[in-house]
Amino acid sequence: MKKIIIVLVFCFLLTGCAKYNQKSIVKELDKKINKSSGYKVRGNLSVNNNDEIYNYDVSVDYKKDNLYKVTLTNTANEHTQIILKNKDGVYVLTPALNKSFRFQSEWPYNNSQIYLLEAIVRDIREDENRKFKIIDNKYVFNTKVNYPNNSSLVKQKIIFNKNLDVEKVVVYDKDNIDNMTMIFDDIKYNPKFSKDNFSLDSIVSSDDVDVDTKESSVLEDVIYPLFLPNGTKLIDEEKVTKPNGERVIMTYDGEKSFLLVEETADVFNEFTIIPSSGEPFRLMDTLGVITDNSLSWTSGDTDFYLVSDMMSQDEMIEIAQSIGGVPSLK
């Protein structure tokens, strides 16, 4: 009997197996989030794209009754964008341009979300083939992911501490390369939010929101895709003047033909909401809009718009991701 007790104690010290197993962890995680009135998350997100790393400070406010506010600030240029979900819809705000896209969208329930706690737990719960390990007193899950607009992302590793607080999530592509990494620095459950915390008007009028009233009148550089589908080439390029700047229209022809427009970004004098039929989409250093046949985004002081009836969303994303911030040869 003495030997049995010693073995059990040893097992507990090494693995923590006497406290949690895989099923009990999933149950406790569900309970922890569902019983909470909401949470605040602070952390850092890094995105790997073609050997370029983009880093963001991330702030998440969530309140039961379907209220979300996700603030993403690029640490390199302090460019901030906000995803807001309230009873009126889903918004992607770009304060520096004094504008927002508005979506009638199922976000964040229609795909995986690396910085939302309930989405992470949902991925674990719904993957019947998930893998589970206890490593150095950490609980580690490996699950599939659901990014319908980017099928190259296929799996993730989720690490919890002994208190079942998520510490790190890493999303991998089909080549087993880490594409996104979210480090959770601070999580607070049941926080108190002001009554207008999730109000669009309060965000727009906040002193913390800076509007960049400077507007570029010229495109300093035309940026060409580094990736093109086989047999597709640039056949026409036209530069036109618009009221407050310039626009370049590039026509690519071939089996995978597409149109690429680059133009100086407009800074609106008054806050402007632009209705969109697409979905919010993260692309490199910014949040954009994706539909079945188009992809639009703003990077720096340039607006980009890519449209094609011949390509899938994955193919459009691959071209867009190859349009970096450095001018390239045609």
What pLDDT, in 10s, does the model give residues 92-149? 999 888 999 999 888 999 899 999 999 999 999 999 999 999 999 999 999 999 998 8
Burial 93-104 (b: 16+ CB within 10 A, else e): bbbbbbbbbbbe
- The pLDDT score that the predictor gives to residue 270 is 84
Q: Provide the pLDDT confidence category of residue 299 given band limits of 50, 70 and 90.
A: confident
> What class is the 9-204 domain?
mainly beta
Strand residues in 126-283 grouped as ranges (E): 131-135, 138-144, 153-160, 166-173, 178-189, 233-242, 245-253, 258-264, 272-276, 279-283
What pLDDT, in 10s, does the model give residues 50-64? 778 999 999 999 999
Q: Is the pLDDT at 32 greater than 60, yes or no?
A: yes
What pLDDT, in 10s, does the model give residues 174-193? 999 999 999 999 999 999 99
**CB neighbours of residue 299 within 10 Å:** 20
**Three-class SS state of 184:** strand
Q: How far is residue 81's CA from residue 92's CA, in Å, rounded to a whole number?
A: 7
Q: Provide the pLDDT confidence category of residue 79 given band limits of 50, 70 and 90.
A: confident
Q: Is the pLDDT at 209 greater than 70, yes or no?
A: no
Alpha-carbon dihedral 313, 62, 56, 175, rounded to 10 degrees: -40
- The pLDDT score that the predictor gives to residue 204 is 85
Q: Provide the pLDDT confidence category of residue 151 given band limits of 50, 70 and 90.
A: confident
Q: Is the pLDDT at 330 greater than 50, yes or no?
A: no
Across-strand partners of 68? 62, 85
Q: How far is residue 61's CA from residue 69's CA, in Å, rounded to a whole number?
A: 5
Contact between residue 263 and residue 250 where contact means Cβ atoms under 8 Å apart = no
- The pLDDT score that the predictor gives to residue 180 is 95
Q: How far is residue 263's CA from residue 249's CA, in Å, rounded to a whole number?
A: 9
Burial class (CB in 10 A: 0-12, 13-18, 19+), 316: buried
Residue, of 213 and 122, whose pLDDT is higher:
122
Q: How far is residue 254's CA from residue 272's CA, in Å, rounded to a whole number?
A: 37
R_g over Cα of the chain: 23
User: What percent of the chain shows pLDDT beyond 90?
Assistant: 64
Across-strand partners of 153? 173
Contact between residue 302 and residue 288 where contact means Cβ atoms under 8 Å apart = no
Residue, of 194 and 110, whose pLDDT is higher:
194
What pLDDT, in 10s, does the model give residues 250-283? 999 999 999 999 999 888 888 899 998 889 988 8
Q: Domain boundaries in the chain?
A: 9-204, 233-264+291-321
Q: Provide the pLDDT confidence category of residue 9 given band limits of 50, 70 and 90.
A: very low
Q: Is the pLDDT at 10 greater than 50, yes or no?
A: no
**Three-class SS state of 277:** coil
The DSSP output letter for 198 is T
Strand residues in the chain grouped as ranges (E): 38-49, 52-63, 67-74, 80-86, 89-94, 99-103, 131-135, 138-144, 153-160, 166-173, 178-189, 233-242, 245-253, 258-264, 272-276, 279-283, 286-290, 294-299, 302-307
